[in-house]
Amino acid sequence: MKIIIENLAKKGLDDIFHYNLQYSLKNAISTDFAITEHIKSLADTPYIGRYIPEISDKHFREIIYRKNRKSGY
């Protein structure tokens, strides 16, 4: 399966990276890597994640990445 990351999602990843960069380069890089790996895993396991309640098309899923209890992307 081919994974397509739309421009809005890429911008979101950039925003997350730059936000984390304010506090720690190491954290910004590791968070960006972990989120990207979750996205790549969709190619092998496309049915992980939950259906998005606002979208009736069941082909769309969402995965919430949490590094710890306080963060969520």
Tens-digit pLDDT profile for residues 6-54: 999 999 999 999 999 999 999 999 999 999 998 888 889 888 888 888 9
Task: Give the model's pLDDT for residue 23.
Answer: 93
Residue spans per domain, the chain: 7-62
Q: What is the pLDDT of residues 48-71, one digit of tens each?
A: 888 888 988 888 888 887 776 666
Task: Give the model's pLDDT for residue 60.
Answer: 82
Helices 7-21 and 25-41 pack at an angle, to 10 degrees, of 150
Task: Give the model's pLDDT for residue 61.
Answer: 80
Locate the DSSP E strands across the chain. 50-51, 61-62
* Helices first, then strands: H and E counts in the chain: 2, 2
